[in-house]
Amino acid sequence: MNPNPFTQFASWFTEARASEPTLAEAVCLATATKSGRPSVRMVLLKQVGEAGFVFYTNLESRKADELTENPQAALLFHWKSLGRQVRIEGQVERVSEADAKAYFDSRPKASRLSAWASPQSKVVPNRTFLVDRVAKLEKQYSGEDVPLPAFWGGYRVIPGQFEFWINRDDRLHDRFVYTKEGDGWDMTMLGP
């Protein structure tokens, strides 16, 4: 294992992109309310580096509400093809509007229109409601760039802890935990 968890993650992520049949960047995001009520869902990792792990969402969604109340999260990558998983826990911060806009502008137009059309995590009457909203937006932005909605942005999970898990057929799995210590990382091994 590399002594730097970001380097270790990058190595595994590269392998996962080559071996996972779909979406190696799919990650399970766990959040909780201020009172501790948890919720979990899948999101897509869009950027990773020493600054943290970035995903984007509707800022009026349940996950955004929970991150406002309790700016801590856990991520779980599971790469079945490799028999590996990585857990990450840490503080969460919003990415800058400039970063959000740069990513939003890189998305396909249909994805940008869907971001505008969907009142994420809110009750909608039916699918037709959403399809009609997209159709209206297609007309509104016909031949134009779709702007960044004020209610859309990104979050960065800043790791305080990583756990790398390796499957073993005998169930004696390997678990390596990296904990942030000052400017570096302390690595320990856990029993499976």
- Is the domain 5-107+149-190 a CATH 3.40.50.300 member? no
Which residues are designated catalytic? 171
| DSSP track, 85-119 | EEEEEEEEEEPPHHHHHHHHHHS-HHHHHHHHH--
Percent of the chain exceeding pLDDT 70 equals 100
- Tell me the C-alpha to C-alpha distance, in Å, between residue 107 and each of 45, 58, 80: 14, 15, 28
Query: Could you state, in order of their start, the residue ranges of all structural domains in the chain?
Result: 5-107+149-190
What pLDDT was estimated at residue 23? 95
Residues 6+ apart with CB under 8 A from 161: 87, 88, 89, 90, 177, 178, 179, 180
Helix (H) or strand (E) holding 186: strand 184-190
Residue-wise pLDDT for 38-67, tens only, equals: 999 999 999 999 999 999 999 999 999 999
pLDDT band at 69 (very low <50, low <70, confident <90, very high): very high
Q: What is the mean pLDDT of the chain?
A: 96
Residue-wise pLDDT for 154-183, tens only, equals: 999 999 999 999 999 999 999 999 999 999
What pLDDT was estimated at residue 52? 98
Residue whose C-alpha is closest to residue 16's, from 80, 93, 108, 59: 80
